[in-house]
Chains A and B, each alone.
Chain A
Amino acid sequence: MTAALSPDDPAITARQRRLAILARTDATALQQAWDGLAEKPRYRHLKVPETGLVMVRARAGGVGQRFNLGEMTVTRCVVAVEAAGRELMGVGYVQGRDARKAELVALFDALALDPAHAPKIEADLIVPAQKLLAEKRQKRAEKVAATKVDFFTLVRGEG
């Protein structure tokens, strides 16, 4: 299956966007969205939620030789969700140790592949979450911008 995928595939970029937003979405918001589903799909775990590490890499000088900065905790979960008579695989990788969050991300990742669920997930979960993240980011950027400083250079007196 993966062999047919190309990184420029619009289906992949759409999925990457969803996963990036879901990973940053509050676990409570994800749970509420799940509780709000009219009908819960049947699913099974391909990988039960598990916490592990990702080694964070950086580059010398920001752009040069790669080095290992340190690790971060990450929790992953892989599910197979039954939708429209077939199984869809969903994957959740989230920062931290919240097993339920990883599971919910995986579930929504899978459900969003089902045309019957996709529009509702996009409208009710993804778009509001994205808006919230953008607002938070903008608010922070405005507060930081207010600390912008103009230093005046004074001529140093000689002797």
Chain B
Amino acid sequence: MYVAVKGGEAAIENAHKLLAEDRRGDPDVPELTVAQIREQLSLAVDRVMTEGSVYDPDLAALALKQARGDQVEAIFLLRAYRTTLPRFAVSKPIDTARMQVSRRISSCFKDMPGGQLLGPTFDYTHRLLDFSLLAKGEAPQAEGNGGSVADALPQVVDLLNAEGLIEQEKPDPDDAPVGDLTREPLLLPAGRDVRLQNLARADEGYLLALGYSTQRGYARSHPFVGEIRSGEVSVEIDVPELGFSVDIGDITVTECQMVNQFRGSKTEPPKFTRGYGLSFGYAERKAMAMALVDRALRAEELGEDVTAPAQDQEFVLYHADNVEASGFVQHLKLPHHVDFQSELTLVRTMRAEIAAEREEALREAAQ
């Protein structure tokens, strides 16, 4: 158990000064601006926004600068900041079908309405270090080739919907409550609303490992990428001062629709099932892993045996948040002096007792 301690103010202050100096690094090297981080380390910013659960590229970039690039620390900073703000509204559900896409691919269909748009992807790069980035160069410029992209592209999974080959996602009634982990603690069993919110905030590395485990046979679900799309969607809220809804701007999101196999049951003919992933910014790996884990967590609902870690709600959901996990692991660094003293006394007593017993046994044997 951690017990409160007093004192050490001067040492703590000096430690923070040293941290600030080390954060700055060599003063002969120009200081990074928050705008540079926002523009040039944008995927790091996107991860901090997604797991920090606040869409604000400037604040996420600031958090990264303050945290010396430590993502989990930056996420913690953003989460702490959000607690200082009032909530004005809850948005209408964003419409990802009306996304202005920067990327949209499917691994199920070669040809689909609207086509496969690779967008700004690392895919098909050779993963060779680009030494030209060491030198200051001209800003590269992408170009069009005469084509354009429609304002709304159909969801690829709808192509399967048309034939009835995939389960349908049905909207919940408008007056149904929607769980909110920022307001209520996690209770089990958790509905899909709460699970998806938990996974959206979850640590990317953790979800990646869990998603990977389902591919390797722990809760095999035979996934295909129905569709991945990234781009801008508008956010609309009901404005109480006006009495009608207003579109307040665009946010970038990445969506993954995973298509999974399903054997069918006594009552249902075989059809594909679905897993869903959604993140702020360009966080494709996160969205894919989230979709795999979302599908795995639906095991019970789909009549599958719960045998693997990724299917276990309690295991997955209670360990997903890196702010909580980091806090609990790292609190071990804090003074546990009293606790440790009592353990020390206990071990010493036990050892003394055992030693005494041995001595007694030896004395008896010698007689």
Q: Which residues of A are interface residues toward B (Cβ below 8 A)?
A: 1-3, 5, 7, 12, 15-16, 19-20, 23-24, 46-47, 50-74, 76, 78, 89, 91, 93-97, 137-151, 153
Of all chain B residues, the one with the shortest Cβ separation from A69 is: B200
**Chain A residues in 8 Å Cβ range of B43:** none
Contact A53 B88 (CB under 8 A): yes
Query: CB within 8 Å of A: which residues of B?
Result: 49-50, 53-56, 58-59, 82, 85-97, 100-103, 110, 115-119, 142-149, 155, 157, 168-172, 176, 178-182, 191-194, 196-197, 200-201, 234-235, 237, 239, 241-251, 253, 255, 257, 274, 276, 278, 280, 294
Q: Is the CB of A23 within 8 A of B144?
A: no
A62 → chain B closest CB, angstroms: 4
Q: Flag if A66 contacts B248 (CB, 8 Å).
A: no
17 interchain pairs (CB within 8 A)? A16-B244, A19-B246, A23-B248, A54-B237, A54-B248, A60-B169, A62-B255, A65-B192, A67-B192, A68-B181, A71-B87, A73-B59, A91-B246, A95-B249, A145-B148, A149-B118, A150-B116
Name the A residues within 8 Å of B169 (CB-CB): 59-65
Residue in B85, B145, B249 whose CB lies within 8 Å of A53: B85
Q: Which 3 A-B pairs have the closest CB atoms?
A: A64-B169, A142-B144, A2-B243
Q: Given A68-B197, A143-B142, do A73 and B55 touch, yes or no (CB 8 Å)?
A: yes
The smallest C-beta distance from A67 to any residue of chain B, in angstroms, reads: 4
Shortest CB-to-CB span from A82 to chain B, Å, is: 18
Query: Is A20 in contact with B247, judged by CB distance below 8 angstroms?
Result: yes
Interchain CB contact (< 8 A) of B100 among A93, A140, A150: A140
**Once bound together, how far apart are the Cα atoms of A7 and B148, in whole Å?**
32
Determine which of A16, A50, A60, A66 lies in contact with B276 in the assembled complex, contact meaning CB atoms within 8 Å. A60
Q: Are A74 and B192 in contact (CB under 8 A)?
A: no
Most buried by B among A46, A97, A141: A141
Bound CA span A81–B245, Å: 22
Residue of A nearest to B257 (CB): A61
